[in-house]
Chains A and B, each alone.
Chain A
Amino acid sequence: MTENSTATVWHEVASPFCGIASDDLTIQVSGNNIKVLENGDAVTRPGFETPISDLQPRIQGKEVTLDQAVSHIADLLINSKQPLIAGLGTDLNGARSAMALADKSGATIDSFYSPAAFRNILVLQDTGYMTTTLTEVRNRVDLLLVVGTDVESTFPRFFERMIWNKESMFGQDIESREVIYLGKKPSGDASTSPKGKKAQVIGCDNADLPEVVSVLRALLKGKPVQAEAVAGVAVSELQTLADRLMAAKYSVVTWSAGQLDFDHAEATIQNVCELIKEINATTRSNGLPLGGKEGDTTVNAVASWQSGYPMRTTFNRRFPDYDPFLNDGRRILAEGESDVVIWVSSFNTTVTPPKTSATTIVLGRSGMQFETEPEVYIPVGVPGIDHEGRTFRTDSVVSVPLRKLRDSGLPSVFEVLSAVEQAL
């Protein structure tokens, strides 16, 4: 940290706004204004730079004190038949306090990011997988297969940091790394090598991936495939891909479940994970699920260690009760099964609660706009900007410390939810 008269500059700042949690950002803070000076991108810049607008909690649109808001939330919870704690864009301690409150109030808990996260979690709970982490990829990958995902649109620095880094620990010629897209093609040139080698694209609609992946797996297992093409992809092209996966020393297969937005995508992810296991009979290969931004990985991790289950768990019978379908927060709100929802979104002003008949309480990032004013709105601080915190990366192994960059006076989710729990 260096200081001058007008602004403070922070180095090696970690970003919670993207699942790869790059921690090499340089950030300038003057008053409540933040500017990413170095290593920003299309995701982290708005993440850090969105200005503060409101500082005061509101009940039915009228400004109140934090204490008044907290005791009103407690009253609503006490009188609720079935509360839901959702959204859950928060950090470690925010997740802890949400779990404690869910346990005490008999709430159901689910995250805004669950529809994507559960495409992977269901695979973990059914057959498991072999995966790797970002530093391994950076140093070892020789073949990257991207399944159905435009990586750079949601992880702008993935290629710069993990694939086209200057040097590998094991003396690999970085330029020799191969990138192959299966499914949609990339939206930009991030996957193009430093010397201009473009990624190969084996194009198909994402909706056709189940079939294409099944054929790829069959070919990897040496099973005969009668057809000459599948969903417009020549089987010979898939055979070449299979051969390259088998010949690679350390292939990495990546996907972002958030972009595999078709029915039963988990079955295709499972097929991908199983074919990775099968490749490992003779050589090394690993999956790399990309996701985990804005507390997504964190809330699932904390829920698992505190209750045994990830998101989509209810405490309405006084013990953790997991059901990935019944406890889907979107379903609960759509069916009107919850009468009070606490919506937590401390990173992102655009992640607002869905339209619902439930009484809505929002712990949101300052500046959040609503179509319908919620019953209670508390502008909260952003972890890693307004208060310290910790967040997990997409690989669910590495967590990074988040720093307090400014003194906005906004409370943390942890402070608010802990106060609510105390007031119950």
Chain B
Amino acid sequence: MLLKLTGGRIFDPAHDQNDVVRDIYIRDGRIVEKPTDGRVDEEIDVRGKVIMAGAIDMHTHIGGGKVNIARTMLPEDHAQAVYERTELLRSGTGHAAPSTLTTGYRYAEMGYTAGFEPAVLPINARQAHMEMHDTPIIDKGGYVMLGSDDFLLRMMAANSDQEAINNYVAWTINHAQAVGLKVVNPGGISAFKFNQRKLDLDEKNDFYGVTPRDILHRLSTAVKEIGVPHPLHVHGCNLGVPGNMQTTLDTIQGAEGLPMHLTHIQFHSYGTEGDFKFSSGAAEIAEAINKHKNITVDVGQILFGQTVTASGDNMRQFAGAPHAHPNKWVCMDIECEAGCGVVPFKYKDQSYVNALQWMIGLETFLMVDDPWRIFLTTDHPNGAPFTSYPHLIKLLMDKSFRNDMLSTLHPEAQKATHLASLDREYSLYEIAIMTRAGAAKLVGLADRGHLGIGAAADITVYTDNSDREKMFEKPDYVFKDGEMVVRQGQVIKITWGTTHVVKPEYDVSIEKPLQEYFDKFHTLKMSNFKISNDEIVDDGRGSLTIQPLHKGGRL
């Protein structure tokens, strides 16, 4: 079966194709060369349509313990967004914390074909994969979380050599079935268990004497040395604290040129100026990002309305709990490894702080020069649900729309931003970089995010529309692995995406101290901790895609 998409306007930044009219041929789920005999089985006329690879959300909380706590905790969230069963689709619910089936359908309907869960606790990875397994159509994967786990902190306190830490990181990525490594409030989640309430970049964990800076250095070095393509994914210290921009600038400096991805940078870009002692640090942060080519960021844009914040950072979530709306929240310490905090929250446009957060996110988007190093996220659902992406794209592409919105916000906040004077409007090509080519490159997906020969045929077809929100919320067609899964914004076929992983090599000698550690201190055996490949395949509809390591990966 050979399918031809005829005459579309191709936006394929991985191949420098910016609005190039060409045909695409698809066979067996892949993009292929034009057949030599010219024979096609089916042709779809897409002349004049905008064609991009399927979009990739490189940071979205779609699976795992804290997301499921959010779901269970918030029946009122679901009652607002109820989806009936159809002949094809399972029923579901949820606005900020949608059910897994609904999550897959909504992503596909917006032209997204992959989403990556950024906070997979090793001990909870099994659950994260179960939930992602029940998320239809899109591909998925997870970044496994270390940095407050006692095994690493014990190694660091004992001054273990980098090689041993590399082994441990690679072992964890393998057996949690992950595609990258995340660190959340480095060492801070552990510190909270020792009753520390904050942890600055150079502040020591009371028990281990280890600082966040040390942890970042060790883990980012490990990721590079074992050849994992996705740079260390960093949720930094002091999330949400006024003045944390200095911590962020120090973190960028402290990376010492090693690749590092700073996630939801908006929440880490706050100054302390003005009457409210809360100001935008976006300009300084953007300048630092522009200067340090080893740094990538995603924004974590907030948008107004009800949502829920779900994070591994229980130290900061506990501090934020008094702001819970509605007034209920959960914090957990987890298995000498991590933690989590779930706090529902409503962003209000007439709140000075929330309005400024909105502005800081947009300022960051507009002041970071290189779209290959900044990514479009709301840190779903922390800043807003992922379903608001089309609206966010319009804010980026349409200055007058943006400034109209701006003029309705808290008046004091408007005075505290230069946003209105920022003229930049993102182009379709830049959107394609941020949400496709750049994201695939960042996550390390060799065969996704582009439209070259051999790529997986994850393709989204839009009708060009100057109202970018309308355009991006309802593509004409979405193809997943060559199959049409969405037509006119409606799911027409259910497929089950693959799980992307990397398999860095490690020396099996690491299992000796690990075995001892599990036996002595844990309540689970090491053998039962490991997630087998079969568990990902599961009932048969799951699959594992092993992405290539960077050259230079070694052990």
Please indicate the chain A residues that have their CB under 8 angstroms from the CB of B90 in the complex: 100, 103, 306
Q: How far is the CB of A12 from chain B (nearest CB, A)?
A: 5
Which residues from 73 to 123 on chain B have a C-beta closer than 8 Å to any C-beta of chain A?
73-75, 77-78, 82-85, 90-94, 97-102, 121, 123
Q: CB distance A414 to B100 under 8 Å?
A: no
Report if B523 contacts A (CB, 8 A). Answer: yes
| B19 at the A interface (CB under 8 A) | no
**Residue pair B318, A280 in contact (C-beta under 8 Å):** yes
- Please indicate the chain A residues that have their CB under 8 angstroms from the CB of B332 in the complex: 130-133, 286, 397
Q: Which range contains the number of B residues in contact with the other chain? A: 35 or more
Q: Which A residues, 126 to 145, have Cβ-Cβ distances below 8 Å to chain B?
A: 126-136, 138-140
Taking chain A's interface residues, is the majority helix, strand, or loop, or is none over half, making it mixed? mixed
A104-B85, A283-B195 are known contacts. Are A135 and B521 too (CB-CB below 8 A)? Answer: yes
In the complex, which residues of chain B have a beta carbon less than 8 angstroms from the beta carbon of A20? Answer: 523
In the complex the two chains form, is A133's CB within 8 Å of B335's CB? yes
- Chain A 282-326 residues near chain B, CB threshold 8 A: 283-284, 286, 300-302, 304-310, 315, 318-320, 322
Give the residues from 504 to 552 in chain B that come closer than 8 angstroms, CB to CB, to chain A. Answer: 520-525, 527-528, 532, 535, 538-539
* Complex A-B: 23 CB contacts under 8 Å: A121-B72, A124-B328, A125-B72, A135-B522, A135-B524, A140-B193, A161-B523, A162-B523, A168-B521, A301-B68, A302-B130, A305-B67, A306-B92, A308-B97, A309-B93, A315-B85, A318-B85, A320-B91, A320-B93, A322-B78, A390-B130, A397-B127, A399-B127
Does A250 sit within 8 A of B, measured CB to CB?
yes
User: What chain A residues lie within 8 Å of B131 (beta carbons)?
Assistant: 305
Using an 8 Å CB-CB cutoff, how does the interface string of B123-140 with A read, 1 for contact, 0 for none?
Answer: 110110011001000000
A169 lies within 8 A of B528 (CB): no
Q: Which of B124, B195, B521, B527 contacts A138 (CB 8 A)?
A: B521
Q: Report yes or no: A319 in contact with B65, Cβ–Cβ below 8 A.
A: no
Contact A398 B124 (CB under 8 A): yes
Tell me how far the C-beta of A29 lies from the nearest C-beta in chain B, rounded to whole angstroms.
18
Contact at B65–A396, with CB atoms within 8 Å? yes
**Which A residues are within 8 Å of any B CB, using their own CB?**
12, 14, 20, 22-24, 92-93, 96, 100, 103-104, 121, 124-136, 138-140, 161-162, 166-170, 249-250, 280, 283-284, 286, 300-302, 304-310, 315, 318-320, 322, 390, 392, 396-401, 414
> How close is A297's CB to chain B, nearest CB, in angstroms?
11
Query: Whole-angstrom distance between the alpha carbons of A89 and B238 in the complex?
Result: 44
Q: Are B82 and A305 in contact (CB under 8 A)?
A: no
- Measured CB to CB, the closest approach of chain A to B491, in angstroms, equals 16
Q: Which 8 A-B pairs have the closest CB atoms?
A: A308-B93, A308-B78, A128-B328, A134-B523, A135-B335, A304-B72, A128-B329, A132-B333
Shortest distance in angstroms between A68's beta carbon and chain B's nearest beta carbon?
A: 24
Contact B539 A414 (CB under 8 A): yes
B44-84 to A contact mask, C-beta < 8 Å, 1/0: 00000000000000000001010111011111011000111
Q: Which listed residue (B91, B330, B539) contacts A93, Cβ 8 A?
A: B539
Given A139-B336, A319-B85, A399-B126: A308 in contact with B92 (beta carbons within 8 A): yes
Given known A-B contacts A133-B335, A320-B78, A307 and B99 have beta carbons under 8 A apart: yes
B407 within 8 A of A: no
Chain A nearest CB from B446 CB (Å) reads: 30
- B59 CB to closest chain A CB, in angstroms? 19
Interface positions, chain B 309-326, Cβ under 8 Å from A, are 318, 324
Q: Is the CB of A308 within 8 A of B521?
A: no
Interface residues of B (CB under 8 A from A): 63, 65, 67-69, 71-75, 77-78, 82-85, 90-94, 97-102, 121, 123-124, 126-127, 130-131, 134, 150, 154, 192-195, 207, 318, 324, 327-337, 342, 520-525, 527-528, 532, 535, 538-539
Residue of B whose beta carbon sits closest to that of A106: B85
Contacts of A162 in B (CB 8 A): 523
Given A280-B318, A322-B75, A130-B331 contact (CB < 8 Å) = yes
Q: Are B127 and A308 in touch, CB under 8 angstroms?
A: no
Contact B84 A305 (CB under 8 A): no
Q: Are A286 and B98 neighbours in the complex by a CB distance under 8 Å? A: no
Contact yes or no, B193 A138, CB < 8 A = no
Do A400 and B195 touch (CB < 8 A)? no
Residues of A within 8 A of B72 (CB): 121, 124-125, 300, 304, 309-310
Q: Which of chain A's residues have a CB closer than 8 A to the CB of B102?
A: 308
Q: Nearest residue in A to B151 (C-beta to C-beta)? A: A169
Shortest Cβ distance from A138 into B: residue: B523
B334 touches A133 (CB 8 A): yes
By the criterion CB–CB under 8 Å, are B318 and A136 in contact?
A: no
CA distance A392 to B327 in the complex (A): 28
Q: Which residues of B have CB within 8 Å of A136?
A: 193, 333-336
The answer to whether B73 touches A103 (Cβ under 8 A) is: no
Q: How far is the CA of A400 from the CA of B529 in the complex (A)?
A: 8
Do B527 and A12 touch (CB < 8 A)?
yes
Contact B130 A92 (CB under 8 A): yes
| Inter-subunit contact A135/B523 (CB<8 Å) | yes
For B78, the closest partner residue in chain A by CB is: A308
Q: A128-B342, A286-B332 are in contact. List 11 more A-B contacts (CB 8 A).
A: A92-B130, A128-B328, A169-B150, A170-B207, A300-B72, A304-B71, A308-B77, A310-B72, A398-B124, A399-B126, A401-B528
| Interface pair B520/A308, CB less than 8 Å apart | no
CB distance from A243 to the nearest CB of B (A): 17
Q: Which residue of A lies closest to B538 (CB)?
A: A93
* Contact, CB under 8 Å: A306 / B101: yes
Bound-state CA distance A401–B526 (Å) is 12
Q: Which residues of A contact B330 (CB under 8 A)?
A: 124, 128-131
* Cα distance, A162 to B102, chains bound together (Å): 39
Residues of B within 8 A of A100 (CB): 90
Across the interface, which residues of A come within 8 angstroms of B523, CB to CB?
Answer: 20, 22, 134-135, 138, 161-162, 398
Nearest A residue to B131, CB-CB = A305
A284 to B73, CA, bound (A): 23
Task: Determine if A306 and B134 form an interchain contact, defined as CB atoms under 8 angstroms apart.
Answer: yes
> Shortest CB–CB separation between residue B241 and chain A, in angstroms?
19
On whether the beta carbons of B75 and A125 are closer than 8 Å, the reply is: yes
A23-B525 contact given A286-B333, A399-B126, CB 8 Å threshold: yes
Question: Which one of B73, B134, B532 contacts A128 once the chains associate, using CB atoms below 8 Å?
Answer: B73
- With A167-B521, A249-B195, A308-B98 known to touch, is A397 a contact of B65 (CB < 8 Å)? yes
Is A14 a contact partner of B521 (Cβ separation < 8 A)? Answer: no
Q: How close is B314's CB to chain A, nearest CB, in angstroms? A: 9
Cβ distance B264 to chain A, nearest Cβ, rounded Å: 23
CB A415 to nearest CB in B, in angstroms, measures 10
A397 contact set on B, CB distance < 8 A: 65, 121, 123-124, 127, 332, 334-335
Interface pair A169/B336, CB less than 8 Å apart: yes
Known: A128-B73, A136-B335. A319 touches B93 (CB 8 A): yes
Chain B residue numbers with a CB within 8 Å of A121 are: 72
**CB neighbours of B130 from chain A (8 A):** 92, 302, 305, 390, 399
Q: Name the residue on A nearest B62 (C-beta).
A: A305
Nearest CB in chain B to that of A249: its residue: B195
Decide yes or no: A135 and B78 within 8 Å by CB, A103-B90, A304-B68, A308-B92 being known contacts: no
Most chain B beta carbons < 10 A, residue from A161, A167, A319, A320: A320
Contact A390 B134 (CB under 8 A): no
Residues of the B chain whose Cβ atoms lie less than 8 Å from the Cβ of A307: 91-93, 99
* Shortest CB distance B484–A (Å): 24
Smallest CB–CB gap between B130 and chain A, Å? 6
Q: Which residues of B contact A161 (CB under 8 A)?
A: 523
Judge whether A309 and B328 touch: CB under 8 Å. Answer: no
Measured CB to CB, the closest approach of chain B to A105, in angstroms, equals: 11
Interfacial chain B residues near A134, Cβ < 8 Å = 335, 523
Contact of A24 among B84, B126, B525 (CB under 8 A): B525
Which residues of A sit under 8 angstroms from B71, Cβ to Cβ?
Answer: 304-305, 308-309
Most buried by B among A131, A308, A390: A308
**B102–chain A nearest beta-carbon distance, Å:** 8
Q: Which one of B82, B90, B524, B527 has the greatest number of beta carbons of chain A within 10 Å?
A: B524
Chain B, Cβ-Cβ closest to A286? B333
Residue of B77, B193, B342, B538 near A284 (CB, 8 A) is B193
When distances are taken between beta carbons in the complex, the residues of chain B under 8 Å from A309 are: 71-72, 75, 78, 93
